[in-house]
Amino acid sequence: MKDKILITYSTRTGSTKGVSEFIGKTLTDLGESVDVLPMNEIEDLSHYSAVIAGSAVQSGKWLPEASDFINTHKNDLNKRPVAVFLVCMTLVMPKGENYRETVSQWLDPIRSLVSPIDVGLFKGALDIKKIPSFSDRFKFRLSVLLRVWKEGDHRDWDSIHNWTVKIKSHLDKSNSSLN
Ligand SMILES: Cc1cc2nc3c(=O)[nH]c(=O)nc-3n(C[C@H](O)[C@H](O)[C@H](O)COP(=O)(O)O)c2cc1C
């Protein structure tokens, strides 16, 4: 069975897991067979025809274990179509759309290891009580008071849906060019 698509993610407070499950559900509704799994559970990519990998952003980067996952599996990833995405709060800022280019550059270290067929930049969620570190909770409370962004779930399901449909059409095209 090599027709499955793997959607794999790295998360701290759960919003990237939710995005991954939604991508999985969308692809399933479009007739694909998928696994949605955290990156730390993946050892072998041989069962998968394509991989969609995503991470939460912290300090302008993918989470360290997500970058490690790409580095560890880069040879296998480069043998199949790969799409990557990130989930962050910068795009939630009042003029967040102006920062898309900067946000996209956060994936440059990943682009240096694999050549994604597409890159998804998604708005995330801020639930301050779920942030483990006291000083990070303090910083985020301050940022909300200063109206940098609002607490809450800002994930844009329409935009994630549209991106997933685009990925499906890329995959269909690359399959038909192989046949
Ligand atoms: C400690 C910490 C640092 C963060 N740093 C950034 C950042 O540099 N840029 C950004 O846009 N969002 C940043 N965020 C926001 C997260 O990317 C956002 O809340 C995301 O939805 C979290 O995903 P998760 O729920 O899957 O962990 C940060 C969040 C935390 C808790």
Q: Is residue 137 part of a domain?
A: no
Give the residue whose CA is nearest to atom 17 of ligand 1.
88
Q: Which of the listed residues 20, 58, 126 should we mutate to test ligand 1's pocket, taking the one with most ligand atoms within 8 A of CB?
A: 58
Q: Is residue 146 part of a domain?
A: no
DSSP string, 51-77: EEEEEEEETTEE-HHHHHHHHHHHHHH
Contact 55, 13 (CB under 8 A): no
The stretch 99-109 carries a mean pLDDT of 97
Q: Which domain holds residue 102?
A: 4-125+155-174
Contact 111, 150 (CB under 8 A): no
**pLDDT greater than 60 at residue 2:** no
Give the residues across from 36 on adjacent strands: 7
Q: Is residue 130 part of a domain?
A: no
- Number of independent structural domains in the chain: 1
Contact 90, 126 (CB under 8 A): no
Of the chain, the percentage scoring pLDDT greater than 90 comes to 93
Q: Is residue 136 part of a domain?
A: no
Confidence category of residue 173, pLDDT binned at 50, 70, 90:
confident
Contact 111, 70 (CB under 8 A): no
Q: Is residue 140 part of a domain?
A: no
pLDDT given at position 176: 75
Q: Which of the listed residues 57, 103, 121, 134 should we mutate to test ligand 1's pocket, taking the one with most ligand atoms within 8 A of CB?
A: 57
Q: Give the separation between CA 114 and CA 52, rounded to whole angstroms.
A: 12
Using the mean position of ligand 1's atoms as its centre, give its distance from the Cα of residue 47 in Å.
31
Kindly state if the Cβ of 102 falls inside 6 Å of ligand 1: no
What is the value of pTM for the model shown?
0.96
**pLDDT greater than 80 at residue 179:** no
Q: Is residue 139 part of a domain?
A: no
pLDDT given at position 1: 47
Confidence category of residue 144, pLDDT binned at 50, 70, 90:
very high
Q: Is residue 104 part of a domain?
A: yes
Angle between helical axes of 15-29 and 157-178 (0-180°, round to 10): 50
Q: Give the separation between CA 27 and CA 68, rounded to whole angstroms.
A: 26
CATH code of the domain containing 84: 3.40.50.360
Give the residue whose CA is nearest to atom 21 of ligand 1.
124
Q: Is residue 94 part of a domain?
A: yes
